[in-house]
Chain A
Amino acid sequence: MPSVGRLIVPEEVWPVLNSVKGLMITLASTVKGLRKPITQQYPTVPTPVKPRFMGFPALTWDDKVPEPFCTGCMVCIRNCPTQCMSATMKDNPAQAEGTSSRRKIIDFFEINLNRCILCGICVEVCNFDAIVMSHEHEMSTYQRNGDRVDLPALLQVGRKYQEKTGWIPPTVLAKQKKDAEDAAQAGQEPAGAVVTEAVVAEPAVAEDKAESD
Chain B
Amino acid sequence: MVEVSSTIHPDGQSVELLLNMGPQHPSTHGVFRMVLWIDGEKILGVEPHIGYLHRGSEKICEGEQYHQIITLFDRLDYVANFNNELVYCQAVEKLMGLTVPERAEYVRVILCELNRIASHLLYVGTIGLDAGAMTPTMFAFRGRERVQALFEAVSGARMMHNYFRIGGLKEDLPDNFEQMIRELLPLLAEDIEESDKIITFNEIFISRTKDVGVISAEEAIDYGLTGPCLRGCGYEYDVRKAEPYSVYDRFDFEVPVGLDGDCWDRHWVRVQEMYQSMHIIEQALEQMPEGPVTSSLGRRLIRPPAGEVYVRAENPRGEIGVYLVSQGTDKPYRLKVRPPSFCNLSALKRLLKDAWVADSVVILGSLDIVLGEVDR
User: Interface of A with B (CB < 8 Å)?
Assistant: 15, 18-19, 21-22, 25-26, 29-30, 33, 38, 49-54, 79, 81, 117-121, 124-125, 133
User: Cα distance A147–B154 when bound, in Å?
Assistant: 28
Which residues of chain B are near A121, meaning CB under 8 Å?
A: 67-68, 71, 162
Which residues of chain B are near A33, meaning CB under 8 Å?
A: 138-139
User: Cα distance A121–B170 when bound, in Å?
Assistant: 10
Closest Cβ–Cβ distance, residue B291 to chain A (whole Å): 15
| A120:B139 contact, CB within 8 angstroms | no
Say whether, besides A26-B135, A29-B194, A29-B198, A124 and B157 are in contact (CB < 8 Å).
no
State the interface size on chain B (CB cutoff 8 A): 32
| A21:B203 contact, CB within 8 angstroms | yes
- The residue that B156 contacts in the complex, of A30, A54, A117, A125, with Cβ under 8 A, is A54
Closest Cβ–Cβ distance, residue A86 to chain B (whole Å): 18
| A117:B160 contact, CB within 8 angstroms | yes
User: Cα distance A51–B174 when bound, in Å?
Assistant: 9
Q: Is B6 an interface residue (CB 8 A)?
A: no
Closest Cβ–Cβ distance, residue B168 to chain A (whole Å): 13
| A118:B157 contact, CB within 8 angstroms | yes
Kindly report which residue of chain A lies nearest to residue B142, judged by CB atoms: A38
User: Cα distance A117–B194 when bound, in Å?
Assistant: 35
| B203:A18 contact, CB within 8 angstroms | yes
Which residues of chain A are near B299, meaning CB under 8 Å?
A: 124-125
A-B CB contact pairs (8 Å), 19 listed: A19-B202, A22-B198, A26-B135, A29-B135, A29-B194, A29-B197, A33-B138, A33-B139, A50-B152, A50-B156, A51-B174, A52-B153, A52-B156, A52-B174, A53-B157, A81-B68, A81-B71, A120-B162, A121-B71
Q: Is B315 an interface residue (CB 8 A)?
A: no
User: Interface of B with A (CB < 8 Å)?
Assistant: 64-65, 67-68, 71-72, 135, 138-139, 142, 145, 149, 152-157, 160, 162, 170, 174, 194, 197-198, 201-205, 207, 299
Q: Count chain A CB atoms within 10 A of each CB in B64, B156, B160 and give the residue with the most.
A: B156
Which residues of chain B are near A120, meaning CB under 8 Å?
A: 156, 162, 170
| A124:B170 contact, CB within 8 angstroms | yes
Closest Cβ–Cβ distance, residue B82 to chain A (whole Å): 15
| B156:A53 contact, CB within 8 angstroms | yes
The 9 A-B residue pairs with the shortest CB-CB distance, nearest first, are A18-B203, A54-B156, A81-B68, A22-B202, A52-B156, A50-B153, A119-B71, A119-B162, A19-B203
User: Cα distance A121–B207 when bound, in Å?
Assistant: 50
Kindly report which residue of chain A lies nearest to residue B153, judged by CB atoms: A50
Q: Count chain A CB atoms within 10 A of each CB in B157, B174, B204 and give the residue with the most.
A: B157
| A81:B64 contact, CB within 8 angstroms | yes
Say whether, besides A15-B203, A22-B203, A125-B299, A118 and B174 are in contact (CB < 8 Å).
no
Name 10 extra pairs, CB < 8 A, besides A15-B207, A52-B152, A119-B71: A22-B202, A22-B205, A25-B198, A49-B152, A52-B155, A52-B174, A53-B152, A54-B157, A81-B68, A121-B68
User: Cα distance A213–B202 when bound, in Å?
Assistant: 64
Closest Cβ–Cβ distance, residue B258 to chain A (whole Å): 21
- The residue that A133 contacts in the complex, of B154, B156, B197, with Cβ under 8 A, is B156
Which residues of chain B are near A52, meaning CB under 8 Å?
A: 152-156, 174
User: Cα distance A38–B145 when bound, in Å?
Assistant: 10
User: Cα distance A7–B160 when bound, in Å?
Assistant: 56
| B152:A119 contact, CB within 8 angstroms | no
| A118:B152 contact, CB within 8 angstroms | no
Which residues of chain A are near B157, meaning CB under 8 Å?
A: 53-54, 118
